Each structure stands twice: as structure tokens, then as C-alpha cells.
Amino acid sequence: MAWLVAGLGNPGERYANTRHNVGAMVAAVLAARSNERFRKVRFIPLEVAETRLGDEVVYVATSHRYMNEAGPSYASFAKKREVAADLVIAIHDDMDLAFGALKVKLGGSSAGHNGLKSLQSALGTPGFLRVRFGVGRPAGRQDPADFVLDPFAKREQAGVAVLIEEAADVVLSLVRVGLVATQDRYNRGGAGN
């Protein structure tokens, strides 16, 4: 069986350490843990690191397209490698969760997240797994679109690396033990919960 881990984010140095790029950050950690490097995919604007967990093949991918138009890249790769939609794991930032919260679920709405909208449209189903990484909401009147494109606040930075490692653990748990056991172990609220 094959899995596709879609580390949602935006390409380029400008976005590398922003809240919106946590999915790509988690994908980088997963590739590093398995000592695999990302390789460009022919004819698809993706970079993929291929690894194995027991008998499972796991493709860890990041897109060369901006998040709101990256869905077709992931869907095309999934189709080419015969990865079922329910074995696609999207890792993404979530403003509806407090900073530090991690939630895992199968399916659901995009809740206004353009990366999820693009992926759902391209896969033709909302029935894929999501690792939701809580980034919280902006304080005051800051535009939410600007907030997610900013780096994490200084007070958050110490915890970000730990949270990214834990989100990588969540992905591995989904492959190893499935959704319910992973939800039981990792679903939690963020700071102050």
C-alpha cells in the first residue's frame, strides 16, 4: 500500500518559516528522519522523498506551486502512484485551533483554507486525512491572510520545533496504527487548553 503526505505550504525563501508553511516544515522533518532527500518529479511540480515504514511506501511531497493552486500537483502524483484518497495525509496550518493544538481527522470541510480547497477539488473528494496544526488567530485587527504569511512570534518560536517534530510523529502514527489510535494519542487543544 502507498501513502502520500502532502506538506502544504508556499514555495520560496520568503515563505519558508511562516505559519502557512508548517506543512512543508513537517514534510522536511519526515524526509530528514528517513535520510531521504527530496527529488523533483518529472512533469509534475512536486518534490518527493520516498521512504518505507514496514511494508508501506510513503511519499512525502511538497509542491512548487502556491498552496491555493497546489492540489492538482498532489492529485496527479497520487493518481500516477495509485494512492487512494483516504491514504493522502495533508498537513496544514489551522487558525481555528489555538497555537500548539494538533488535531487529526478524516474528511470534512476546507473551513476556508485555500490549500485544502485546492486539494479537495483536485482529488474530487474531501475524504483525505488531515493533520491540523494550530497556529491561532491574529491579535487585534491584523488581516488573517497577512497573519499566516508572517513568521511565528518570538514567544512561539521555542515551541515550534517541538510541535513540528510531534506533527511528524502524528503522520507516522497514522501510517503505523491508523486514524482512531492516532486521534486517541495526539488530538489535543493548544496553549491554555
Residue of 20, 64, 92, 113 marked active site: 20
DSSP assignment of 15-81, as one string? Answer: GTTBGGGHHHHHHHHHHHHTT---EEETTEEEEEEEEEETTEEEEEEEESS-GGG-HHHHHHHHHHT
Between CA 180 and CA 112 the distance in angstroms is: 25
Rounded to the nearest 5°, which phi and psi values hold at 96? -80, -5
121 is written with which cell numbers?
477539488
Angle value at C-alpha 119, between 61 and 46, nearest 5 degrees? 30
Identify whether 20 is a catalytic site residue. yes
Which residues are known to be catalytic?
20
